[in-house]
Amino acid sequence: MGVDRQEEADHERVVGCNLAATTEKDAEAVEKLCIELAKERAQLDVECTEDRVEQEAAWCQEVMSCILDTTAKTISICARSKRWWNADIKGRRRMVGRDRRTRRNSEEAARAKAELQTSTQQSKRTMWDDYLQIVGGAEVRRAARYANPRAGMTVEALTDRDGKPANTSLEKEEILRDKSFPPNDGEQYNDLPPARSPHTRITEQAVERAVFSPSAKKATGPDRLSSGAIRLLWEWDKEKIMRLMRAPICTGRYTAVLKRASGVVICKPGKDDYTKRKAYRSISLLSCMGKVAKKVAAELLSEEAERRALLSGGQFGSRKGLLVIDAVAIMVDRAHAAWTNGHITRVLLMHIKAAFPSVAK
């Protein structure tokens, strides 16, 4: 099962990275070329203009596309491609097929079939081990589950702030309540950051998370630069990506080059009549670099909202560290508190999926 999962993950990785078929020597030459081209351009600074940011974003897309088009080897991978296939397996398979056609039931035919299975298993194992050596980004956790099915099954013991473990259920509830819903310290609002300074809060770790969080399986936008290509550019020149991510925050304008998208119409599965418009839906393929910029800006806004306590205490969606189980925990805690005081608890559940389309304009 792990080998089949690895084939799928390996397929995604190759599709996402245009330089997957190049040698190590070619990759070093491409990296050197990219660095040399970047030295000829002036770096974005705090006083950069909106036009300068647009030019820098367009230049990054153009140079990266040209490098990939001229250097990367063209490979074609379909859903049934076997990355572990080699000449030895091909020869042994021909031998087994010839014995099957001649209906030979000798010991040699059985030995040839066993050798084919052994060779196939060894090739798959070698490919899986090589993949584990180069896996990175968001694929690490997925590969860990396949490599070790029991990984992540152990639950750490709950401990309080002093490191004392919880033994009873009441102690566990108290620790969870204290960690999930800490008391308000009264400092709900802070001063606004100085003008033209929020971009300084964008750290290298935040940009790196945004670069490596998207899956390599995501389709590319009109620039044809996948998340794998963006990761390569990040490894070659982190400073350029950092400045390009900070520039829109500094200028207060989202780069138009990164907002371009390609619209694609696809059919909905399971429809009876595909001559109707309802049987199709349109999707928008955005630029991967633009997705990185959006993630960086979203994290910056989220941290500022949490720091200034601008969000309601009852909001659990799109917030770090808060899940649906937290809302359930609050409801159960309030119910227990009401029962302890002899009160009756009532819960109002509303389904608002179609609320906004149904509102009278």
Mean pLDDT, the chain, as a whole number?
Answer: 76
Q: Is the pLDDT of residue 265 over 50?
A: yes
Q: Which helix (H) or strand (E) holds 283?
A: strand 280-286
Looking at per-residue confidence, does 172 or 151 come out higher? 172
Looking at per-residue confidence, does 178 or 149 come out higher? 178
Instruction: Give me the amino acid identity at 268.
Output: K
Looking at per-residue confidence, does 181 or 99 come out higher? 99
| DSSP bridge partners of 334 | none
What is the rounded CA–CA span in Å between residue 152 and residue 145?
8
Residues 6 or more apart whose CB falls under 8 angstroms from that of 96 comprise 109, 112, 113, 116
In angstroms, the Cα distances linking 74 to 20, 22, 77, 81 are 10, 9, 10, 15
Determine contact, residues 80/67, Cβ cutoff 8 Å.
no
Query: What confidence score (pLDDT) does residue 339 get?
Result: 92
**272-305, pLDDT tens digit by residue?**
888 888 889 888 888 888 888 889 988 888 888 8
Model confidence at 94, pLDDT cuts 50, 70, 90, reads: confident
Query: What confidence score (pLDDT) does residue 83 get?
Result: 77
Q: What single DSSP character describes residue 344?
A: P
Query: What confidence score (pLDDT) does residue 72 get?
Result: 67
What is the rounded CA–CA span in Å between residue 313 and residue 289?
33
Question: In the chain, what are the domain boundaries?
Answer: 2-147, 314-361
Q: Nearest-CA neighbor of 83 among 11, 5, 144, 1?
A: 11
Determine contact, residues 142/17, Cβ cutoff 8 Å.
no
| 88-97, 102-111, 288-297, 305-314: segment of lowest average pLDDT | 102-111
Cα 195 → chain centroid: 32
Q: Is the pLDDT of residue 176 over 80?
A: no
Q: Nearest-CA neighbor of 53 among 203, 252, 200, 208?
A: 252
Model confidence at 343, pLDDT cuts 50, 70, 90, reads: very high
Helix (H, G, I), strand (E, B) or coil at 144: helix
Residues 6 or more apart whose CB falls under 8 angstroms from that of 274 comprise 267, 280
Enter the pTM of the model: 0.56
- Best mean pLDDT range from 62-66, 96-100, 169-173, 286-290: 286-290
Model confidence at 106, pLDDT cuts 50, 70, 90, reads: confident
DSSP string, 209-262: HHHHSS-TTSPP-TT---HHHHHHHHHH-HHHHHHHHHHHHHHTS--SGGG-EE
Q: Is the pLDDT of residue 101 over 50?
A: yes
**2-31, pLDDT tens digit by residue?**
334 444 444 333 333 444 445 566 667 667
Q: Which two tokens stand for residue 259?
A: 């907002």
Residues shown for the chain? 361
What average pLDDT does range 351-358 have in this prediction? 68
What average pLDDT does range 188-203 have in this prediction? 65
Looking at per-residue confidence, does 74 or 273 come out higher? 273
Q: Is the pLDDT of residue 225 over 70?
A: yes
Q: Where are the alpha helices (DSSP H) in the chain?
A: 2-16, 24-39, 50-71, 87-101, 107-134, 139-147, 169-180, 204-212, 227-236, 238-251, 288-307, 324-340, 355-358
